[in-house]
Structure 1
Amino acid sequence: MKTHLFIASLLLLVLLGACSSGPVMTQATGLAYEVIVVMDQKDWKGEAGEIIKADLESPVPGLPQSEPSLKITYAQPKDFNGLLKLVRNILIVKINPSTYTKVSLSYENNPWAKGQVVLTLKAPDAQSIVEYLTANKNKLANFFVEAEMNRAIAQLEKNYSSVVMEHLKKDFDVMLNAPENMTYYKDTTNFFWASNNANTGRTDLVVYTFPYTDPDTFTADYLVAKRDSVLKANLPGAFPGSYMATETLGGVHYEPITVNGKYCGVLRGLWKMRGDMMGGPFVSHIRLDEKNNRVVVAEGFVFAPETSKRNFIRRIEAALYTLRLPGEFDKPVSDPLDVPEQKK
């Protein structure tokens, strides 16, 4: 009898807990860097649809072959229901001259599923969308890319390589949340290398430091020269005399951004192995450690021949945003990346 009462009491507690917590929201579906576009078919097939597609499919910078920023699925408003409302990235386009006087963007998190973001574009006509997206290049793509990057950063906060974290903290006095499968490593003075050592989609991470003595340090030319000298000395190739170098033929891209409220240089381009046939994309975050008057470089690079490289390079790029210098260890992994406009 006591056993039956105990079970009945336990079931009652479970039911009360379920009632008090409310309904559980379904997890968003879909793959990273995929988006569903919802708009009238006539507009989708017209000039508004064309420029929206061009924006969302704009090429990912710094890759050896052209790859679109996002994969698009289209749906008419009348078909936008059921499972389609659970997709992680949704763009809803509303064109109505009697309702809207200008183009506006707004977004909402988790309206129908957990981990979802819905961006709404409103406009009086197709021409105003063309003018807006022409003046604001890659506005839509950048929004969803940054949303995906935030998701990856949040995941890295929960699951990361303890090997990388421990060695960087002990030997470099920095913190970085690398992907959990990065367990192969080499640690030398002022240089650390880690890799997932994968047969497909190999991804590597390097961290190195050097004294801050030159005001021209945060320029593409200086950083490429420094990169080549450091990696030549520390990452020899499989063949005698082979070594890693920056591919400068197609140019490299340097962009200043802000991370944790501080200046961060982003260097992006292609690497190649001189004396070998290997190569691929890389991205570097370069920051000034004011406390120790040194420059800290965290770089990810990918080797994935005969397959797309977009998701590989973006995953390691997300890890670079988690770099924390002395004095930042008690801060979150990273502030969320900026998104355009405002929430609804």
Structure 2
Amino acid sequence: MIKRGSKYFRTDRANWHIPFLALLFSVLLVSCKDNEPKKVAATGAINSLAIAINDNLWSGEIGDSLRKKFAAPVDGLPQEEPLFTIQQFPVRLFDAYKNSNTNLILIKKEEKTGYRVVHDQHIKPQNLVVISGKSIAEIIAFIDQNGDSLVTLFRETEIKRSQALVRENLLSDEKLKKRFKISLDVPATFQYVMEKPNFIWMKKEILSGNTSILVYKVPFKTILKNDNVVNNIIAMRDVFGARYIRGKENNSKMITEESYAPYFDITVIAQRRAYETKGTWELKGDYMSGSFINYAIMDRKKREFIIIEGFCYAPSTSKRDLMMELEAIIKSVKFL
């Protein structure tokens, strides 16, 4: 069969080039990927928003609509601070700004009507929102319809950016693993200042004060009794604050500020139901106060809540970005 006219011999000879072409194609494919320009990492400030819109539109109804959505006050802070620090510039300067801003909105009044979100086109991460309309009313309609989802998108991106910065240099979380069976990405700029069997306090000193992370756990009934979750969370944090968080004065203790109604929401963290509470704390008897964000994360198997709270004391500076870092740390939690 092999000597003369073997079809097997002729078939192998006719198709000898197929493996070679496959190898050549794979090499070229890898080469093309290697030659693709890598996107530059975002360098803009956390919680910033760049808006490309011509001055006449920015000073009118469209600008008012944008400011209402994206410069609204942050929930849970004692003083009003905007969700995002907005930088506006004319559309003709778009190319000069597109490579440095994580969150970017482009507004154009033209015949073409549309709304789209483009991810990571110029840098990574980046959310580029393009809105165009024939009339002011059309553009405002796009902003009103999509503004809330864009705020959520922008904040989630900023949380991830903050977490990436935190992971560059981490504090050991072995103590958290041992006591609470969780891992948490905490910057090495924090240090453990109190360790109890069911309570850990980590603190970071900053120029204008300090920021802190608390971790403890409570049984279901502490938060779910009487179906009054908000009041139960406030009562719980007041108990732990009075027990462990004190000022320089002997009789001082941390409590939840009663003058401000706390912000409350139900969310999901680490695939678990969680209660989010934001508000203001004070050291009763020591004239200190600040902002807090508290997450009560449900562990159904153990019928308990893991409580992770961040709070700051920064009387002479804005608190928005400090609280963003604490939120990013808390949302990095993983159950072991």
Q: Shared fold by TM > 0.5?
A: yes
1:225: which partner in 2?
A: 235
Aligned partners of 1:218 and 1:157: how far apart in 2? 37
TM-score in terms of structure 2 length: 0.83
Q: Deviations over 1:172-210 (max 9, x none)?
A: 212111222112321102111000133425110001111
CA RMSD of aligned residues (A): 2.4
Out of 39, 47, 57, the residue aligned to residue 53 of structure 2 is 39
Q: Secondary structure at the match of 2:232?
A: helix
Q: Which runs of 5+ in 1 are unaligned?
A: 1-15, 330-344
Out of 276, 280, 300, the residue aligned to residue 290 of structure 1 is 300
1:306: which partner in 2?
A: 316
Aligned partners of 2:230 and 2:237: how far apart in 1? 10
Aligned partners of 1:302 and 1:19: how far apart in 2? 45
- Tell me, yes or no, if structure 1 residue 194 matches structure 2 residue 202: yes
- Quickly say closer, same or farther: Cα 1:39–1:198, change in 2 above 3 A: closer
Q: Which runs of 5+ in 2 are unaligned?
A: 1-29
For residue 316 of structure 1, report the CA deviation from its aligned partner.
0.5
2:160: which partner in 1?
A: 150
Letter of the structure 1 residue corresponding to residue 248 of structure 2: A
2:12: which partner in 1?
A: none
Letter of the structure 1 residue corresponding to residue 321 of structure 2: N
Out of 93, 108, 112, the residue aligned to residue 99 of structure 1 is 112
Q: Deviations over 1:243-295 (max 9, x none)?
A: 00000211111100122332111010000000011110000111111222211
For residue 225 of structure 1, report the CA deviation from its aligned partner.
0.4
Aligned partners of 1:197 and 1:154: how far apart in 2? 21
Aligned partners of 1:133 and 1:109: how far apart in 2? 18
The structure with more radius of gyration:
2
- Quickly say closer, same or farther: Cα 1:131–1:77, change in 2 above 3 A: closer
Aligned partners of 1:231 and 1:303: how far apart in 2? 14
For residue 81 of structure 1, report the CA deviation from its aligned partner.
1.8
Task: Using the TM superposition, name which of 316-325 and 196-205 deviates more.
Answer: 196-205
For residue 149 of structure 1, report the CA deviation from its aligned partner.
1.0
1:273: which partner in 2?
A: 283
- Quickly say closer, same or farther: Cα 1:209–1:237, change in 2 above 3 A: same
Are 2:78 and 2:290, in contact at CA under 8 Å, matched by a contact in 1? Answer: yes
TM-score in terms of structure 1 length: 0.81
Instruction: Indicate the structure with greater helix content.
Output: 2
Q: Secondary structure at the match of 1:240?
A: coil
Are 2:167 and 2:187, in contact at CA under 8 Å, matched by a contact in 1? Answer: no
Letter of the structure 1 residue corresponding to residue 178 of structure 2: K
2:185: which partner in 1?
A: 177
Q: Secondary structure at the match of 2:306?
A: strand
1:250: which partner in 2?
A: 260
Q: Deviations over 1:42-98 (max 9, x none)?
A: 3222201111022111111111111111111112111222355332221112333x3
Which structure ranks higher in relative contact order (CA pairs < 8 Å, sequence separation ≥ 6)? Answer: 1
2:170: which partner in 1?
A: 160
Are 2:296 and 2:308, in contact at CA under 8 Å, matched by a contact in 1? Answer: yes
- Quickly say closer, same or farther: Cα 1:136–1:221, change in 2 above 3 A: farther
Aligned residues between the structures: 305
For residue 139 of structure 1, report the CA deviation from its aligned partner.
4.4
Aligned partners of 2:147 and 2:262: how far apart in 1? 20
2:211: which partner in 1?
A: 203
- Tell me, yes or no, if structure 1 residue 77 matches structure 2 residue 87: no
Out of 125, 135, 138, the residue aligned to residue 125 of structure 1 is 135
Aligned partners of 1:198 and 1:44: how far apart in 2? 37
Q: Secondary structure at the match of 1:51?
A: helix
Letter of the structure 2 residue corresponding to residue 189 of structure 1: P
Q: Secondary structure at the match of 1:180?
A: coil
Aligned partners of 1:140 and 1:207: how far apart in 2? 31
Out of 47, 52, 56, the residue aligned to residue 66 of structure 2 is 52
Aligned partners of 2:294 and 2:263: how far apart in 1? 10
- Quickly say closer, same or farther: Cα 1:31–1:182, change in 2 above 3 A: same
